[in-house]
Amino acid sequence: MGSGAMGSGAMGSGAAGSGPGHGAPLCPSPPPPAPRCSRGSRRLSETGAGPRRSEGAAGRGGLRAAASLPHIARGRGEEGGGRRSPCLLVALRPRNVEAERERFFRASFAYDPQFEYAEPVPAAVLDKYGAASDRFVAQAIRIIRAVLEKYGTYESFEVATGGRLLSKCQIWSVIRKYMQKEGCVGEVVVQLTDDLLSQAVMMVEDSRPTLAINLAGARQHWLEGMLRHEIGTHYIRGVNNTRQPWHSSEGRKQYSLKPANPTEEGLASLHSVLFRKQPFLWRAALLYYTIERASHLSFSALFQDLEQYVQDAGVRWEYCVRAKRGQTDTSQPGCFSKDQVYLDGILRILRHRQTIDFPLLAALGKVSYEDVNRLKEFGVLEKARIPHFMQDLERYMKQLDHIVTTNGLNEEELEQLLPD
């Protein structure tokens, strides 16, 4: 994975949809390798479950700026004589995932992978994410079926609403323009890679905010939504958070803050689909459903269950790996439930959207929507960054209403699901 500096003048400003010979910018020179995932690296966020459909070697490139759904990073061997503790991403990715994938497909899907890990997965992590919720399963299924009813298959939905895959040069152009909108050109390291099982992942590497983007998921009409998720939500709230009296764990305790999630990921996920003509919450819904089913099923049974919604076997494999990560013997029921946070957070925010001060929610940093009103008198709001897409708040609120309607939700249902 390479990285490059995204400062002003780093590239031209060709149109996002332009191709060779039609105003596309020149690609930057190959940059030096990015830092390895080590003690100096921590994941802040990860976008979507954008699985790789093939093992083709997509080109790699890199850029500069920073934070989302847990990316399953490739394991790395130990370097030098000192033993290093792997970051959570490495610990959660089975080191034999490719070998088990091949065995699973050779067995015509009638095999339950036996995963191995470079290091034991921390017991505290497994305990925290070992139980699935079924609270919003009915809503998840309804969203999934609404997409299939309209588009026939997920694959058709992806092509119809996502548009064509962009070249690296076109991706750089979109990213540069977005960074300019948010006033953060030169602040974040951006990496283009084909190694992610998600669409994107935000990290801090060696104290630098770093965004890795999956080339296979960078589609014409979806890329800016991913940037709203990662930069417009995670990064901007993170920058604002550093200026608040609750920026440290001690400060959060002092002000009795609720956890940032599910607000953080719910808000970011809503921003991913904001301004789409058909803002279906497919990915959040399918992740939620997959994890709930994984808690009751073996890997092979889960894979078979998902066929009713996703025909592509490679895509189903990736969703199943995400839901079963942390397990060794996947013939047993069990899940890694973290990915349920997206739909959970989405529904909570939509339920209370009429009373949430969204610009203030961004300005106060990494806080829950439930804490906003009581924290505003203590917050440092001078020079706070507000995402550019929140500037027209009336339009923003109309888009949230559109998301509710498109996904078959309604006020009465949300109130019953999430009473005050």
Q: Which residues are catalytic?
A: 230
Report in angstroms the alpha-carbon separations of 299 from 293, 321, 401, 419: 10, 8, 37, 35
Spell out the residues 6+ positions from residue 186 whose beta carbon is closer than 8 angstroms to its own.
5, 6, 7, 8, 64, 65, 179
Give dist(CA 94, CA 274) in Å, integer: 34
Give dist(CA 178, CA 39) in Å, integer: 30
C-beta of residue 103 within 8 angstroms of C-beta of residue 57:
no
What secondary structure does DSSP assign to 324-387, as a single string? HTT-SBTTS----GGGGHHHHHHHHHHHTTTT--HHHHHHT-S--GGGHHHHTTTS--TT----
Torsion angles phi and psi, residue 193, rounded to 5: -150, 165
Give dist(CA 201, CA 213) in Å, integer: 7
Rg over CA atoms, the chain: 21
Q: Terminal CA-to-CA distance of the chain, rounded, Å?
A: 46
